[in-house]
């Protein structure tokens, strides 16, 4: 038996003819958003890209087959599948052998995008170093993968429930370049400024494309991370965010939540405590990153 990946005809043609392609993850609609908003957001992202001349390459695992460029029917199917699993890079061979349906994380999506020749990937927020990692050694597999996959990833920073300064330290250690889009304030997913600074910014998609091109010429193999903050008028109120986040962390400790259950617990707590406002911010974050990713994908073709 030979494990293969499937690249859709639309994506394959765009790559072969030199048209811009943007990779999109599937966990946002398999695990990140409630129904029916999940499939609506996925379809909206693809439609907006196509209208701007960019081919969307939504990535997931369908019946065990890693798929780059899921069809609308496949997106709808996985969006409504209670048995769909979350697939990180280490899970890909297991999902393939067991013929599972899976939403791919940042790590798995970045790897599959690179394998297919897609150079740019937009997501919401990255995984990173978890709070208390000095005792638990808990950090996302995203970090190690980003250190070895030479694509461009656009995100609104790492999720604010994580340890942001330690995550930035790990990215530095792993030689992963981080560039803010029109800012040196590192975003905190739900808020446009996490309170931590980064060293460099880029003022245009063309400048980001030039940095990626220089990385390739130098023979480096790490991801170029583009930190794209949510617009200030779309962010969660920073004071509300700080209060609710502290409450969510305290609640997780009281209930003994740990490991893989921590992130969904905290995000669900924040959503309920903000009466759904955090969900709307999440969607705005994604929209902004998809829009910027499409522009960078186009700019890369002329770099």
Residues assigned a catalytic role? 25, 159
Q: Which of 112, 93, 109 is nearest to 155 (CA)?
A: 109
**Paired residues of 21 in beta bridges:** 55
Query: How far apart are alpha carbons 84 and 68 in whole angstroms?
Result: 17
Query: How far apart are alpha carbons 225 and 177 in whole angstroms?
Result: 6
Beta strands 152-155; 224-227: pairing state:
parallel
Tell me the Cα Rg of the chain: 18
DSSP 157: B
* Residue 159, token pair as written in the block: 């999720």
Q: Which of 151, 144, 168 is nearest to 59 (CA)?
A: 151
**Paired residues of 55 in beta bridges:** 21
């Amino acid at each position: 038996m030979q494990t293969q990946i499937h690249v859709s005809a639309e994506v394959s043609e765009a790559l072969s003819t030199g048209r811009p392609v943007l990779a999109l993850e599937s966990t946002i609609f398999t695990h990140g958003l409630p129904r029916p908003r999940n499939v609506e957001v996925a379809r909206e992202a693809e439609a907006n890209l196509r209208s701007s001349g960019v081919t969307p390459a939504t990535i997931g695992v369908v019946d065990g087959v890693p798929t780059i460029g899921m069809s609308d029917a496949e997106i709808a199917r996985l969006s409504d599948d209670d048995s769909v699993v979350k697939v990180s890079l280490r899970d890909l061979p297991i999902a393939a052998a067991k013929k599972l349906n899976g939403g791919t994380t940042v790590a798995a999506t970045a790897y599959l995008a690179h394998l297919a020749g897609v150079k740019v990937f937009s997501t919401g927020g990255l995984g990173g170093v978890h709070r208390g990692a000095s005792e638990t050694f808990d950090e996302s597999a995203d970090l190690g993968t980003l250190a070895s996959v030479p694509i461009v990833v656009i995100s609104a920073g790492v999720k604010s429930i994580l340890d942001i300064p330690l995550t930035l330290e790990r990215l530095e250690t792993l030689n992963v370049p981080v560039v803010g889009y029109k800012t040196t304030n590192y975003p905190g997913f739900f808020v446009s400024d996490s309170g931590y600074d980064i060293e460099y910014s880029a003022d245009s998609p063309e400048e980001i494309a030039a940095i990626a091109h220089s990385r390739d010429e130098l023979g480096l193999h790490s991801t170029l991370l583009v930190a794209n903050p949510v617009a200030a008028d779309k962010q969660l109120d920073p004071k509300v965010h700080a209060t609710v986040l502290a409450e969510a962390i305290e609640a997780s400790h009281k209930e003994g939540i740990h490991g893989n259950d921590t992130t969904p617990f905290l995000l669900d707590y924040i959503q309920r405590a903000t009466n759904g406002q955090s969900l709307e911010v999440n969607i705005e974050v994604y929209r902004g990153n998809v829009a910027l990713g499409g522009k960078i994908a186009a700019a890369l073709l002329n770099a």
